[in-house]
């Protein structure tokens, strides 16, 4: 700045230079945005409308590819050729006029026609509409291209539909196929293909019967498709206009057919793939679009369209729909080499692997746990049965021991009625031996012998049931009569030890309990014998044995056996039910332990309390109702 101020002439030169550079830069800056902001005008012309399969797929794909591959911004205008559905060319006229008006002031840089009808249209009206605009014809089978009318501004990205390969694919994956119905309508393009396909499939004439649908309305065909003969296949060519003149959209029609058809459906183009068709070698939309976009880019870049030659797009590697393979029983081994399988249902395993592992492990763990518990349960049952058997055996030994102790009383009980019988029979004989036999007295004596005999057998029966080895079935028992049986046997013992026995049994109907008579009698026998012996060993004091029975409303029975003996010291009281605990010098210490086991086995309870003096034992047994 300092120098500028000092030397004006220098300043002036510098100023001019800077201004020149600035203006150059401005020009540069203005030029670049202008070239970038001017998008290339591209028209896409579809044969039947953007939404008609298979061209709908091309519409989406080509737009994306053009935008991707073009270095310039593109202004894409799209049109559909409605007239292609019929052979009538009249409806074209207004459309041609419309296009001419539209593009008169806005020249197009490129025209891309999609499908054969569109190709035909642009070729036919080229001179009138876009004489010098370069054109790319795509998605058109090479058989449908009028190569003769191509100009130096035209190029073709053709496809080659190999119908023979497509039908051979059917025969490969379903070798039993006999009938192939080709779905085709009545529009010009469809008519063309009917003829072309018929010609191309001639080599297979001896293997399959071909039939066509162009003589039927699509609805009629749908009806037929329900009941196609076995070993049929359907080849989906095109269904644009049926015999009744109804226009169909390819995708919807195919779906409707798929919903009712009793035969597998095949086709030639990827755009039909995805639910309805089984698969096979297919034309890939992407292949055509990529090629076309590449060619378009070269043309926009200035290359002469007529000089660009690209080979037709062929079938790609076969692709199959796994769901349809399952439906028609096509094994993977029948697919041609290099086939791709799509839509394979993800197996539960792959989808829920960890969940399944978790569930399985939980189930396994639980199963193991259950098995373990069952095993434990069984072992416990076995142990319980064994312990019950041991208890029964011990109980029997204990009964035998008690029987030994009671032998004197038992003998007495048996001898009493025997003595009566002997005496009475002696009396009877003497009554009869008198000069005038006293028959009345003799008869009375005989009657008493009978009574005594009955009592003797009753005594023996009681003894047998009380001391038998095998445990009997549980049966309803009257506890009072059990107590009386035991008292009958122990009465003498009580007398011997000077024990007064006070009995107060439940009055009124005694509720029955379920049990083993021998075992329960043994319980009372043990308790009573213990009491008698305890009091017998004591010196002085009143020797009273009190036996009571009571019943509850619920049918439970409580028997109390109380003695006035010396009892058991507090510190030993807790142990009285333990095995091998005894206060008797000659005792084995099993009696009360066995009693408790027996009562427990009957679902009852045996417990004791310390009285003043002596001990009181309680036997509680559940009633039958429980």
Partner 1 sequence: MNKRHSPQSLVIVIDDDALVREAISDLLRSVGLQTKVFASVPEFLEWKLPDGPSCLVLDVRMPGLSGLDLQTELNKARVHIPIVFVTGHGDIPMTVRAMKGGAVDFLAKPFRDQDMLDAVQAGLERDKLRRKSEINTAKLRSAFDSLTPRESEIMKLVTAGRMNKQIAGEIGVSEVTVKFHRGNIMRKMGAKSVAELVRMAEVLGMLRTED
How many residues of this chain bind partner 1 (CB under 8 A)? 34
Strand partners, 502: 546
Cβ nearer to partner 1, comparing 172 with 496: 496
Which stretch in 5-13, 366-374, 407-415, 528-536 sits in contact with partner 1 by CB under 8 A?
407-415
Contact between 411 and partner 1 by CB under 8 A: the answer reads yes
Locate all alpha helices (DSSP H) within 183-269, ordered by sequence: 188-200, 218-226, 250-260
Binding-site member from 222, 401, 423, 550 for partner 1 (CB under 8 A): 423
Angle of helix 479-496 versus helix 439-467 axis, rounded to 10: 100
Could you say which residues in the range 197-216 bind partner 1, by CB under 8 A? none
| Shortest Å distance, C-beta 430 to partner 1 | 4
Fill in the per-residue mask, 444 to 473: x = in contact with partner 1 (CB under 8 A), - = not in contact.
Answer: xx--x--xx--x------------------
Cβ nearer to partner 1, comparing 476 with 498: 498
- The burial class, CB within 10 Å (0-12 / 13-18 / 19+), for 548 is middle
Q: In angstroms, rounded to a whole number, what is the distance separating the alpha carbons of residues 44 and 113?
A: 6
Binding-site member from 416, 538, 560, 582 for partner 1 (CB under 8 A): 416
| Shortest Å distance, C-beta 483 to partner 1 | 18
| Shortest Å distance, C-beta 541 to partner 1 | 17
Could you say which residues in the range 490-549 bind partner 1, by CB under 8 A? 491-492, 494-496, 500
- The burial class, CB within 10 Å (0-12 / 13-18 / 19+), for 416 is middle
| Shortest Å distance, C-beta 514 to partner 1 | 34
Closest CA to 158 of 144, 143, 135, 142: 142
Contact between 412 and partner 1 by CB under 8 A: the answer reads yes
Q: In angstroms, rounded to a whole number, what is the distance separating the alpha carbons of residues 101 and 79?
A: 14
Contact between 426 and partner 1 by CB under 8 A: the answer reads yes
| Shortest Å distance, C-beta 433 to partner 1 | 9
| Phi-psi label, residue 274: left if phi above 0, alpha if psi -120 to 50, beta otherwise | left
| Shortest Å distance, C-beta 482 to partner 1 | 22
Which stretch in 268-276, 310-318, 461-469, 487-495 sits in contact with partner 1 by CB under 8 A?
487-495
Binding-site member from 422, 439, 542, 624 for partner 1 (CB under 8 A): 422
Contact between 421 and partner 1 by CB under 8 A: the answer reads yes
Cβ atoms of residues 135 and 118 within 8 Å: no
Tokens representing residue 620 in the block: 């509680």
| Shortest Å distance, C-beta 376 to partner 1 | 54
Cβ nearer to partner 1, comparing 355 with 433: 433
Q: Which helix (H) or strand (E) holds 584?
A: none
Contact between 427 and partner 1 by CB under 8 A: the answer reads yes
Cβ atoms of residues 137 and 156 within 8 Å: yes
Cβ nearer to partner 1, comparing 230 with 426: 426
Residue 63: Cβ within 10 Å count: 19
Which stretch in 80-88, 91-99, 179-187, 416-424 sits in contact with partner 1 by CB under 8 A?
416-424
Binding-site member from 279, 280, 417, 567 for partner 1 (CB under 8 A): 417
| Shortest Å distance, C-beta 453 to partner 1 | 11
Provide the 8-state DSSP code for 611.
-
Cβ nearer to partner 1, comparing 126 with 543: 543
Closest CA to 535 of 560, 566, 492: 566
Which stretch in 196-204, 234-242, 428-436, 597-605 sits in contact with partner 1 by CB under 8 A?
428-436
Strand partners, 504: 548
- The burial class, CB within 10 Å (0-12 / 13-18 / 19+), for 476 is exposed
Question: Which letter, b or e, does each residue of 573-611 get, where b requires 16 or more Cβ atoms within 10 Å of its Cβ?
Answer: eeebbebebbbeeeeeebbbbbbbbbbebbebebebeee
Contact between 51 and partner 1 by CB under 8 A: the answer reads no
Q: Which residues bind partner 1 (CB under 8 A)?
A: 408, 411-413, 415-428, 430-431, 438, 441, 444-445, 448, 451-452, 455, 491-492, 494-496, 500
């Amino acid at each position: 700045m300092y120098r500028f101020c000092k030397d004006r002439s220098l300043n002036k030169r510098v100023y001019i230079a800077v201004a020149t550079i600035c203006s150059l830069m401005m020009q540069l800056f203005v030029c670049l945005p202008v070239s970038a902001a001017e998008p290339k005008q591209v028209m896409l012309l579809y044969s039947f409308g953007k939404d008609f399969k298979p061209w709908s797929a091309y519409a989406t794909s080509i737009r994306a590819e053009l935008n991707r591959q073009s270095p310039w911004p593109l202004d894409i205008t799209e049109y559909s050729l409605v007239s292609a559905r019929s052979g009538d060319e009249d409806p074209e006229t207004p459309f041609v006029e419309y296009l001419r008006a539209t593009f008169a002031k806005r020249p197009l840089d490129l025209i891309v026609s999609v499908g054969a009808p569109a190709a035909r249209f642009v070729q036919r009206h080229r001179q009138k509409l876009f004489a010098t605009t370069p054109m790319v014809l795509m998605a058109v089978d090479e058989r449908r291209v009028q190569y003769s009318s191509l100009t130096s501004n035209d190029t073709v990205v053709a496809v080659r539909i190999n119908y023979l390969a497509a039908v051979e694919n059917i025969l490969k994956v379903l070798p039993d196929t006999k009938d192939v119905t080709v779905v085709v309508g009545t529009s010009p393009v469809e008519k063309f293909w009917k003829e072309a396909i018929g010609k191309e499939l001639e080599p297979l004439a001896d293997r399959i019967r071909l039939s066509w649908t162009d003589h039927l309305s699509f609805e009629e065909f749908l009806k037929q498709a329900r009941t196609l003969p076995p070993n049929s296949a359907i080849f989906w060519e095109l269904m644009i206009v049926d015999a009744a003149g109804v226009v169909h959209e390819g995708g919807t029609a195919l779906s409707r057919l798929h919903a009712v058809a009793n035969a597998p459906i095949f086709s030639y183009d990827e755009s039909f793939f995805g639910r309805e068709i089984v698969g096979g070698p297919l034309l890939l939309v992407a292949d055509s679009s990529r090629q076309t976009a590449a060619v378009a880019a070269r043309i926009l870049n200035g290359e002469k369209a007529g000089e660009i030659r690209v080979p037709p797009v062929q079938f790609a590697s076969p692709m199959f729909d796994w769901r349809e393979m399952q439906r028609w029983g096509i094994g993977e081994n029948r697919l041609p080499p290099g086939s791709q399988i799509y839509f394979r249902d993800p197996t539960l395993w792959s989808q829920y692997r960890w969940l399944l592992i978790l569930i399985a492990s939980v189930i396994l763990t639980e199963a193991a746990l259950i098995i373990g518990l069952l095993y434990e349960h069984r072992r416990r049952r076995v142990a319980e049965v064994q312990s019950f058997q041991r208890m029964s055996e011990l109980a029997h030994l204990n009964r035998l021991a008690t029987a030994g102790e009671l032998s004197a009383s038992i003998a007495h009980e048996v001898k009493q009625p025997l003595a009566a019988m002997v005496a009475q029979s002696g009396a009877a004989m003497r009554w009869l031996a008198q000069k005038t036999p006293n028959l009345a007295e003799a008869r009375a004596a005989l009657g008493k012998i009978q009574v005594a005999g009955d009592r003797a057998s009753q005594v023996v029966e009681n003894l047998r049931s009380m001391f038998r080895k095998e445990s009997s079935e549980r049966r309803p028992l009257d506890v009072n009569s059990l107590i009386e049986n035991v008292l009958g046997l122990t009465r003498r013992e009580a007398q011997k030890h000077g024990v007064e026995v006070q009995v107060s049994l439940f009055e009124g109907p005694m509720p029955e309990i379920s049990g083993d008579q021998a075992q329960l009698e043994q319980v009372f026998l043990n308790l009573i014998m213990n009491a008698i012996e305890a009091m017998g060993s004591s010196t002085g004091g009143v020797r009273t044995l009190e036996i009571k029975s009571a019943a509850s409303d619920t049918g439970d029975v409580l028997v109390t056996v109380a003695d006035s003996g010396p009892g058991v010291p507090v510190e030993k009281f807790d142990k009285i039910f333990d095995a091998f605990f005894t206060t008797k010098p000659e005792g084995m210490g099993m009696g009360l332990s066995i009693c408790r086991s027996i009562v427990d086995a009957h679902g009852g309870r045996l417990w004791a309390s310390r009285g003043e003096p002596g001990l009181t034992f309680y036997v509680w047994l559940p009633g039958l109702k429980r």
